[in-house]
């Protein structure tokens, strides 16, 4: 970087007093980018000081803490104020934020307030020739853009599941710095009335290591139960291509693709999915792809690591049973 | 209720995209452009609000001359008026700069609610909506799947967050970015298309918006490249049990994911 800089990570608290998985991924990336310089974490919530040790163990040298009842649950006004105050004071050269519902809500507004450069959907962030350069999929994944930041505050919104989480090292500690936060309740212009968990979801699709996904080839909503069974054995999340959503078989939040979610799991198992460009736009970044489809001409086979030409209704129960046996053998074997 | 909808004219997502030789953009010759998919949902939501509560629907875009076609598409759906920020410098703006320019154009308009698509399908950034909210000094709700306007002073918005649906009460006026699923956009009617052709579109230069110099871009596109080609791997064919056995072996021993 033209001016060497500390790297900041905006922490996203999740349930249970721990940060969301993406936070650890960002801390790992921040350690790499900061080199000999320091990694700062900024965390805002009701009572979040207790996260400092965990953040330190995962690589933060300094933890900036904003605490207030107004900071939980997340609201745009309160968090932009808290995080913005912490950043404005330090004017860091690089800030990493996770591409989550809250991160995508917060980051652009923060950039506008701080007159910062911002790049969203980053699949990589690196320092090249003293510039911070990010890559991101664009044009429905028909292209990869390389984007360079200018000077000033730079905000990179990084996709989940592309960087490995930072390993914890015991014995590290961080300096804890309080962030001044004095906002009146009346200045927060949104109010979270209710958060209703979507029951089926064990792991959010965007954070899952394994995804089992179904398409038109499943023929009806009842057959998604076959995917649920396999997913349960694998500890996977269940998604879909667009046709099952359009047909009302599964809710909108299942959808992976251009008009749905972008996912980057280790393993993606596409069942009865033909592989329209609109679907590939959301999943072709998966590390390994298994396609199960009876049509040998289906475009999904063009990108599948393992292409199973066969009937999903025959293959899925067999696969589920084999995975179940394997997992129970692994458990028995320790 | 007067609603402003921000729209963008983008390449049809079904179209083949050719990258320019210099890698600095897309070859636009012969490329079909359409109203951004998510913005169609924004226009539809605005029209439904107008049908229930009265008021006007005004479209605003910042873009090259061809972007007028995006405005005409929204007018054909039923919008009342359109503002086109057309200036040489628009092409050089980054997303934050675009939001600044849109904010300057929206400020003088009668406006109780601003709707945007959650992102544009050309660059997938999702930056303009929240940045616009900041520049207008308004609260925001992003990626909204359901919007209910109560007494006109507050709205209730549903947003999908990781593994949950959040119900948010938002003070109005506000900037709302809309997600697919909020509605089913209507097709333009023939009278709508005819009326859209006759509707005068207000053209604004940056100078008209009180901006003597364009906002400085903080990011620069270095290159667009085709995505790395994914090699098709191995076909597993034959008797189902044997195929499944081989798949399990490959996932364990080659991919090491089981």
Segment A215-231, tens digit of pLDDT:
999 999 999 999 999 99
| Residue A73: cis peptide before it, omega within 30 degrees of 0 | yes
Q: Residue B165: its chain A contacts at CB < 8 A?
A: 195-196, 198, 253
Instruction: List the single range of B31-35, B149-153, B240-244 with lowest mean pLDDT.
Output: B149-153
Say how far apart CA A281 and CA B27 lie, in whole Å.
20
Q: Residue B125: its chain A contacts at CB < 8 A?
A: 120-121
**Mean pLDDT of the B48-77 span:** 97
With a CB-CB cutoff of 8 Å, which residues 25-44 of chain B face chain A?
A: 26, 37
Say how far apart CA B215 and CA B92 lie, in whole Å.
9
**pLDDT for A13:** 92
A64 beta partners: A42, A177
Instruction: List the single range of A199-213, A315-329, B74-88 with lowest mean pLDDT.
Output: A199-213
Whole-angstrom CA distances from B15 to B27, B93, B226 are 12, 25, 15
| Residue B173: cis peptide before it, omega within 30 degrees of 0 | yes
**pLDDT for A199:** 67
Distance from CA of B63 to the nearest CA of A (A): 17
**pLDDT for B181:** 87
Q: Is the CB of residue A258 less than 8 Å away from at least one CB of chain B?
A: yes
Average pLDDT, chain B: 95
**pLDDT for B210:** 94
Q: Residue B226: its chain A contacts at CB < 8 A?
A: 142-144
Task: Say yes or no to pLDDT of A317 above 70.
Answer: yes
**pLDDT for A274:** 97
CATH fold of A7-187: Rossmann fold (3.40.50)
Q: Tell me the pLDDT tens digit for each residue of A257-306.
A: 988 899 999 999 999 999 998 899 899 989 999 999 999 999 999 999 99
Instruction: List the single range of A191-205, B165-179, B232-246 with lowest mean pLDDT.
Output: A191-205
CATH fold of B3-209: Rossmann fold (3.40.50)
**pLDDT for A2:** 47
Candidates A91, A104, A108, A328, partner chain B, best to mutate (most B CBs within 10 A): A108
Give backbone dihedrals phi and psi of A117, rounded to 5 degrees, phi first: -80, 145
- Structural tokens at position A309: 């030409």
**Strand-strand pairing, A143-149 and B219-225:** antiparallel
**pLDDT for A1:** 46
**Which among A210, A287, A310 has CB closest to B240?**
A310
Q: Which residues contact B256 (CB under 8 A, 6 or more apart)?
A: none
Superfamily of structural domain A205-332: TPP-binding domain (3.40.50.1220)
> DSSP assignment of B116-169, as one string?
EESS-TTT----HHHHHHHHHT--EEEEEEEEEE-SSSEEEEEEEETTEEEEEE
Q: Is the CB of residue B167 less than 8 Å away from at least one CB of chain A?
A: yes
Contact B236 A309 (CB under 8 A): yes
Task: Say yes or no to pLDDT of A176 above 50.
Answer: yes
Would A7-187 and A205-332 be classified into the same CATH topology?
yes
Q: Is the CB of residue A97 less than 8 Å away from at least one CB of chain B?
A: no
**pLDDT for A4:** 67
With a CB-CB cutoff of 8 Å, which residues 162-181 of chain A face chain B?
A: none
Q: What is the pTM of this model?
A: 0.93
Q: Residue A201: its chain B contacts at CB < 8 A?
A: 163
Q: Is the CB of residue A286 less than 8 Å away from at least one CB of chain B?
A: no
Task: Say yes or no to pLDDT of A133 above 50.
Answer: yes
Instruction: State percent of chain B over pLDDT 90.
Output: 92
**pLDDT for A5:** 82
**pLDDT for B192:** 96
**pLDDT for A14:** 86
Q: Is the CB of residue B146 less than 8 Å away from at least one CB of chain A?
A: no
> How many other C-beta atoms are found inside a 10 Å radius of the C-beta of residue A61?
19
**pLDDT for A200:** 65
Whether the CB-CB separation of A256 and A240 falls below 8 Å is answered with yes
Domain boundaries, given as residue ranges, for chain A: 7-187, 205-332
Q: Is the CB of residue A152 less than 8 Å away from at least one CB of chain B?
A: yes
Q: Which residues contact A14 (CB under 8 A, 6 or more apart)?
A: A20, A21
């Amino acid at each position: 970087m033209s001016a060497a800089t500390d790297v900041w990570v905006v922490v996203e608290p999740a349930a249970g007093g721990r940060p969301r998985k993406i936070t650890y991924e960002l801390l790992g990336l921040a350690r790499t980018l900061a080199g000999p310089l320091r990694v700062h974490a900024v965390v805002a919530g009701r009572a979040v000081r207790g996260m400092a040790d965990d953040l330190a163990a995962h690589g933060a040298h300094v933890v900036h803490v904003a605490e207030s009842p107004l900071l939980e649950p997340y609201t745009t006004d309160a968090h932009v104020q808290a995080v913005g105050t912490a950043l404005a004071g330090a004017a860091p050269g690089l800030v990493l934020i996770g591409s989550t519902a809250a991160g995508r809500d917060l980051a652009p507004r923060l950039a506008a307030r701080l007159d910062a450069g911002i790049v969203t959907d980053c699949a990589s962030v690196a320092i090249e020739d003293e510039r911070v350069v990010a890559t991101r999929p664009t044009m429905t994944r028909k292209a990869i853009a390389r984007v360079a930041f200018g000077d000033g505050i730079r905000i990179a919104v990084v996709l989940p599941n592309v960087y490995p989480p930072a390993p914890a090292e015991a014995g590290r500690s961080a300096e804890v710095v309080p962030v001044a936060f004095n906002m009146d309740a009346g200045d927060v212009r949104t109010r979270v009335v209710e958060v209703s968990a979507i029951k089926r979801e064990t792991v959010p699709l965007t954070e899952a290591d394994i995804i089992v996904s179904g398409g038109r080839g499943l023929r009806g909503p009842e057959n998604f139960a076959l995917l649920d069974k396999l997913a349960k054995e694998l500890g996977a999340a269940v998604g879909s291509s667009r046709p099952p959503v359009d047909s009302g078989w599964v809710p909108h939040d299942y959808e992976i693709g251009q008009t749905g979610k972008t996912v980057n799991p280790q393993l993606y198992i596409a069942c009865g999915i033909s592989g329209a460009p609109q679907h590939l736009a959301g999943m072709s970044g998966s590390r390994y792809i298994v396609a199960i489809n009876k049509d040998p001409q289906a475009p999904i086979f063009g990108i599948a690591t393992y292409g199973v030409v066969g009937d999903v209704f025959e293959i899925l129960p067999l696969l589920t049973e084999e995975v179940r046996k394997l997992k129970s053998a692994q458990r028995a074997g320790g | 209720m007067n609603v402003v909808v921000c729209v963008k004219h983008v390449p049809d997502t079904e179209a083949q995209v050719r990258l320019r030789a210099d890698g600095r953009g897309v070859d636009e010759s012969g490329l079909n452009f359409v109203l951004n998919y998510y913005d169609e949902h924004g226009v539809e939501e605005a029209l439904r609000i107008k049908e229930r509560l009265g008021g006007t629907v005004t479209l605003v875009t910042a873009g090259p001359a061809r972007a007028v076609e995006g405005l005409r598409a929204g007018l054909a759906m039923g919008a009342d008026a359109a503002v086109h920020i057309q200036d040489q410098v628009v092409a050089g703006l980054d997303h934050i700069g675009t939001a600044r320019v849109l904010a300057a154009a929206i400020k003088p308009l009668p406006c109780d609610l601003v709707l945007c698509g959650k992102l544009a399908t050309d660059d997938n950034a999702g930056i303009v909506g929240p940045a616009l909210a900041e520049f207008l000094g308004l609260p925001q709700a992003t990626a909204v799947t359901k919007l209910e306007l109560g007494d006109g002073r507050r709205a209730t918005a549903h947003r999908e967050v990781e593994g949950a649906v959040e119900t948010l009460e938002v003070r109005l006026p506000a900037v709302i970015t809309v997600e697919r699923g909020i509605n089913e956009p209507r097709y333009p009617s023939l009278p709508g298309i005819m009326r859209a052709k006759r509707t005068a579109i207000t053209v604004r230069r940056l100078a008209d918006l009180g901006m003597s110099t364009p906002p400085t871009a903080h990011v620069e596109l270095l290159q667009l490249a085709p995505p790395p080609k994914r090699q098709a791997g191995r076909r597993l064919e034959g008797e189902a049990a044997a195929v499944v056995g081989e798949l399990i072996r490959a996932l364990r021993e080659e991919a090491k994911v089981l």
